[in-house]
Copies of this chain bind each other. A is one copy, B any other.
Amino acid sequence: MENEFDWLKKVQPQKTPGHLIQGIGDDAALYQSEASFDEVATVDTMVEDVHFKKSTMSPTDIGYKALAINLSDIAAMGGKACYYLVSIAIPQSGWTEDEVVEIYAGMKELANRCGAVLIGGDTVSTNDRLVVTVTVIGRVETGRKLLRSNAKPGDIVFVTGPLGSSAAGLHLLLKGDKRLEAFEYEAVVRAHQRPEPQLDIGRVLAKSGFRVSLNDVSDGIASEAHEIAEASGVVIDLFEGDLPYHESLDDFPEQKWKWILSGGEDFQLLGTIARDEWDHVKGSVEGQGGEIYAIGEVKEGESSVYLHNENGIHSIDKSGYQHFG
């Protein structure tokens, strides 16, 4: 197997952006900061047979998703993506060199679309299963802080797209379900294998200049809503009838609400914004071809999350469990 340097050369960008001084090829990457922007940084790890299986994800999917989950964190800060670093522990057996190159190719496909450039990494061997860790560095306009702690009573709660799709897709993949081939399930399978970080919507929210609380839906909307409620010290009311989901979830009536509330890995953005500013932001997002849905409201009170449906109002915990009351 080639050395780290050779690996990285293969996936090195042809053209480096203006702010990058030294990318791959020295001890560390060197880049200029940007006037009137703050820096945003995040890291996430995916472990074989914990976060993905070779049977349900192709190598390019694995790379794509490993970068996507990090870009989603950047999106949740309203940032634009700039740079990424990849550390990969490659098993002594079970993975071909081509497969590892495909992992990087999957990242690059998404990175090119988002304007992120690979600037460094580490490739090591392991006697165990594959582990891939991606660090992403992004930027957001100085003074913009789309934090979880920004929610205030009276805010609209919004989400940027369907919930539960990833969980539905994983379910089909793990079962080897014959419906996998059907067109109507393509969207949910894709949501699991190639989640789309909502960077464009994050940028709209950051540029709006409005106070926005924001979180990405990695662990399910129940958990993320709790994080905002706790960080902001507010009550979040969610309206079941307004929660967006892909129509194919109706074919799984038993799992549907569990997936929607706590399936996780949807990588949509969940946030809150003042009611007066909602129409403007919704218009801007939809004007760019994006989706954004009002799904609830913020109230005063001890941190908690409630789900309103035709049966009444239910306190829900982080796992999405509904306490009927």
Contacts and interface: CB of A to CB of B under 8 A. Distances in A.
Determine the main DSSP class of A at the interface with B.
strand
Contacts of A255: none
Interface string A104-134: 0000000000000001111011111101010
Contacts of A122: 43-45, 133
A216 to B, nearest CB: 6
A284 interface: no
A133 B216 contact: no
Given A21-B38, A87-B133, A124 B30 contact: no
Q: How large is the interface on A (under 10, 10 to 19, 20 to 34, 35 or more residues)?
A: 35 or more
Choose among A41, A74, A124 the residue with the greatest number of B CB atoms under 10 Å from its CB: A41
A45 B130 CA distance: 13
Interface in A59-101: 72-74, 76-77, 79, 83, 85-89
A33 to B, nearest CB: 3
A42 B22 contact: no
Nearest to A86: B43
A51 interface: yes
Contact of A43 (B77, B120, B215): B120
B89 A45 contact: yes
Interface string A123-150: 0111111010101111010100101110
A147 B21 CA distance: 11
A41 B29 contact: yes
Contacts of A133: 43, 45, 87, 122, 133
Each complex incorporates copies of this chain amounting to 2
A77 B28 contact: yes
A221 B46 CA distance: 34
A10 to B, nearest CB: 18
Contacts of A88: 45
A321 interface: no
Contact of A85 (B129, B135, B140, B147): B135
24 contacts: A21-B38, A22-B145, A26-B231, A27-B76, A27-B215, A33-B34, A33-B37, A39-B39, A39-B137, A41-B83, A41-B135, A42-B120, A43-B133, A45-B87, A45-B88, A45-B89, A45-B122, A45-B133, A47-B89, A51-B124, A122-B133, A126-B128, A126-B129, A126-B131
Given A30-B145, A42-B85, 20 more contacts: A26-B77, A27-B77, A27-B148, A31-B38, A31-B41, A39-B39, A39-B137, A41-B135, A42-B120, A43-B85, A43-B135, A46-B124, A47-B128, A50-B124, A51-B124, A89-B131, A126-B128, A126-B129, A127-B129, A133-B133
